[in-house]
Amino acid sequence: MLKFTIYSSSYFLKNFNIFLIILFLSPVNLEAENWFRSSGNYEAHLYSLETQINEANIKDLEKAFSFNTGHVIEALGIQSAPIFTGDKLIINAIENISALDPRSGDLIWQYDIGSINDMNNPWVYFTVNRGILFNENSSKLYRATNFGVLELDVNSGKLLNIFKDVDSSLAPIIFQNNLYVASVDQGVIAFDLTTKEKVWHTSFLKGGFPGRVWSGFSFDPESKILFAITGSSGGVKGIGRQDPNMQTSLIALDADTGEILWSFQHIDHDVWDLDLLGNPIIVDLTIENETIRSVIALSKTGDILLLDVETGKPVHDKSYKLVSVPESDIPGEKLAKYQKKFFKPQPFWKTEVDLVNDFSHLDAENKEYVENKIRHAKSGFFIPPSINYDTVLYGIHGGAEWFGGAIDFTSENPSLVVPYNRDPWIIRAYHTDKISILIDRFVKRYQKYFKQSNSDKIKAAWVPWDHAEIETMELSEKIYSYVPFTPKDKSYKSYCASCHGLSRRGFFEYEGEGDLLYPPLVGSTLGKKKDFVMNFNKVKSLHESVNIPYKITKQKHAEIFEYFDKYDKFLQKNYLLSSRGFWQVLLDKDRNPATKPPWGGLSKIDLVTGKIIWDIPFGKRRDDKNNIIADGDRVFGGIMNTASGLTFATGNPDGYIYAFNADGKKIWEDLLPFAGSAPPISYSFQGCQYVVFTSTGGRYYDFKQNGDLISTYKLESCN
């Protein structure tokens, strides 16, 4: 049997006597509540039963020990919270796993995941991993990789087995004799722990593309139901994706058979990259004298799905209504006619940007700069990507992020604390020229003949605009210039192609780098942007507003765009146009999110009444000189609640870590050298409570350095 907080914590609080009986009957040493999975327990409460550290004594918190994992990866922090096995603190880094003495922090063993690469194993590449699991019954650890789940002996750190042919970034789950793995593209797979054979495999492939499980996987030991959340295929183009499918859904599976019991789709045909996020949270709620076992999934939109575990139906009446939404004007893109607008629980954030009021804080110069950027923009409830306008929205980096929310069982009703982002994004769809795409493919295919191959596998795994990519692009452009019909206008070549590209493909920085944009100009004379692009004065002053001299005359401008007009019509007539889309952060002149701060928040929601109890800015945004610019910044770390009513929090780019009381008041802070990258955890060992922070930096434009430092705290008086 699983000894893994199978009684929910609310149960513990309300039935203390029963808890004591369990305590004495249980063979487990419950001196401390253990944290066997990075999510805390299988129900993903991120809630510690420890109470030694409380509001009264938190001022006496001091560093207990710190630990360096030994590997720093540029633009990637450790996204897995550690676990506590009862006598070891396990740090799950990207490239290695370390077992530490929970009191001294001394290293007991370290397993190098790269050591797996040999003739018998496929290559493991190092990318994001979001959790590890300890099975107390067998004293084994389970950690997923891109090609299988590693089984390690917890005492020696020796690799015992690999459950192969499954690609996962999440902590597995064990129940009875099965190991459950949620894979990025394969759905959920159950293995027999003894034979290592697959017991069942439930795919989430439907409608041509799989629902991708990259962020959340939980288990309810009471109902024996596994819960996975999915995202979309990524990207902002849905052509070819059939409906119905299993994307952007909360899916319930029978742990015995793998049968899908129900699934709830949050967004139909998501082309906004608004995934569900975080491990689904399972909690008992008493509503009008009836106890409903409920499962929560959070969204980048700020919506909270709160569903009955058994039926998959919303726990609250009138939880959402269907609202009719605009159609796409991109040929071939068939979007849903309706989307769900949620009311209960009250959403903690939204996607709609008010294109006037949300920018009213900017000074005149900055306002003009931002207004130029959003010159083609629309915003609103599920406004689809379009060739004719740009879509501005909140949510691409959350709303909620992958680390999800934490339950507070100390409040009157169980409540949910959620950290979330409130920064704006812009989605741009644009025409592409199939001739240039063909050349790109050719160059990519034969790139090894053109240049040195990139041996830096680690980098290539997640940086789309790495150096190799730019080299490839430059080469494609060169070949393109030899193709007949391509823009051969001399002035365009001399004055424009250096930014907009000879093939007019443009250039954009991705979210890790910033917001630089040279707009693609393919097909720019065909849609509603035509009036703007053909207007010399507007285009000239647009360039000058970003300090780019516009070096051609009105006459030349007209000639170039007449030529483009002809060429675009030629491409269109010959079916040589296609479309793509991308998103970018929407920043102001000073590289801050362009909308009104706070840019990150922390919200507490009563799950029974469905109402927001409080909502505060999360941390502060600081500039390079450490001056505070605004309250509330983007957050990519996470939180944990404790039974003493505290919320520990980390994740802003500035590296500050915080504790809040149950009313949302900040009661403690400290500064770490790197940004928070995973939720904190807590454990107690030999009479002292410890809080562990994984703050190893982020991967986006506003994050600075990455590190490998794990920091633990305890009370000064406790030794």
Residues that bind ligand HEC (CB under 6 A): 373, 495-496, 498-500, 517-519, 521, 524, 529, 532-533, 539, 542-543, 546, 548, 550, 552, 560
Give 236 or 533: the residue with its C-beta nearer to ligand HEC. Answer: 533
Please report how close the Cβ of residue 675 comes to ligand HEC at its closest, in angstroms: 27
Asked if 462 and 127 count as a contact pair (C-beta separation under 8 A), the reply is yes
Please report how close the Cβ of residue 529 comes to ligand HEC at its closest, in angstroms: 5
* Terminal CA-CA length for the chain: 34
Please report how close the Cβ of residue 545 comes to ligand HEC at its closest, in angstroms: 8
Give 455 or 547: the residue with its C-beta nearer to ligand HEC. Answer: 547
Please report how close the Cβ of residue 578 comes to ligand HEC at its closest, in angstroms: 18
Of 12, 606, 615, give the one whose Cα is nearest residue 287: 606
Give 65 or 425: the residue with its C-beta nearer to ligand HEC. Answer: 425
Please report how close the Cβ of residue 358 comes to ligand HEC at its closest, in angstroms: 18
Q: How far apart are CA 53 and CA 57, in angstroms?
A: 6
Q: Residue 32's CB: how many other CB atoms inside 10 A?
A: 21
Asked if 179 and 216 count as a contact pair (C-beta separation under 8 A), the reply is no
Of 387, 392, 391, 390, give the one whose Cα is nearest residue 522: 387
Give 109 or 550: the residue with its C-beta nearer to ligand HEC. Answer: 550
Please report how close the Cβ of residue 532 comes to ligand HEC at its closest, in angstroms: 5
Give 590 or 716: the residue with its C-beta nearer to ligand HEC. Answer: 590
Give 37 or 500: the residue with its C-beta nearer to ligand HEC. Answer: 500
How many degrees, rounded to 5, is the angle at CA 185 between CA 183 and CA 190? Answer: 35
How many degrees, rounded to 5, is the angle at CA 27 between CA 84 and CA 105? Answer: 20
Q: Residue 77's CB: how many other CB atoms inside 10 A?
A: 28
Please report how close the Cβ of residue 355 comes to ligand HEC at its closest, in angstroms: 15
Please report how close the Cβ of residue 258 comes to ligand HEC at its closest, in angstroms: 49
Give 333 or 515: the residue with its C-beta nearer to ligand HEC. Answer: 515
Please report how close the Cβ of residue 67 comes to ligand HEC at its closest, in angstroms: 44
The residues, ordered by sequence, that sit 6+ positions from 663 with a Cβ below 8 Å of its Cβ are: 614
Give 535 or 661: the residue with its C-beta nearer to ligand HEC. Answer: 535
Residue nearest to ligand HEC (CB): 496
Asked if 233 and 208 count as a contact pair (C-beta separation under 8 A), the reply is no
Tokens encoding 197: 């054979």
Please report how close the Cβ of residue 371 comes to ligand HEC at its closest, in angstroms: 11
Give 519 or 698: the residue with its C-beta nearer to ligand HEC. Answer: 519
Of 367, 505, 497, give the one whose Cα is nearest residue 428: 505
Residues in the chain: 719
Please report how close the Cβ of residue 377 comes to ligand HEC at its closest, in angstroms: 10
How many degrees, rounded to 5, is the angle at CA 671 between CA 670 and CA 673? Answer: 150
Give 593 or 676: the residue with its C-beta nearer to ligand HEC. Answer: 593
Give 295 or 552: the residue with its C-beta nearer to ligand HEC. Answer: 552
Please report how close the Cβ of residue 522 comes to ligand HEC at its closest, in angstroms: 11
Give 381 or 550: the residue with its C-beta nearer to ligand HEC. Answer: 550
How many degrees, rounded to 5, is the angle at CA 600 between CA 596 and CA 602? Answer: 125
The residues, ordered by sequence, that sit 6+ positions from 247 with a Cβ below 8 Å of its Cβ are: 207, 209, 210, 211, 212, 230, 231, 232, 233, 241, 265, 270
Asked if 115 and 124 count as a contact pair (C-beta separation under 8 A), the reply is no
Q: Sign of torsion, CA 364 366 372 374?
A: negative
Give 571 or 613: the residue with its C-beta nearer to ligand HEC. Answer: 571
Q: Residue 494's CB: how many other CB atoms inside 10 A?
A: 11
Q: How far apart are CA 488 and CA 437, in angstroms?
A: 18
Q: How far apart are CA 533 and CA 233, in angstroms?
A: 32
Asked if 247 and 230 count as a contact pair (C-beta separation under 8 A), the reply is yes
Q: Which amino acid is at 689?
A: Q
Tokens encoding 106: 């001394």
How many degrees, rounded to 5, is the angle at CA 190 between CA 186 and CA 192? Answer: 145
Please report how close the Cβ of residue 559 comes to ligand HEC at its closest, in angstroms: 10
Give 428 or 621: the residue with its C-beta nearer to ligand HEC. Answer: 428
Half-sphere exposure of 705 (CA within 13 A, CB side): 9
Please report how close the Cβ of residue 140 comes to ligand HEC at its closest, in angstroms: 53
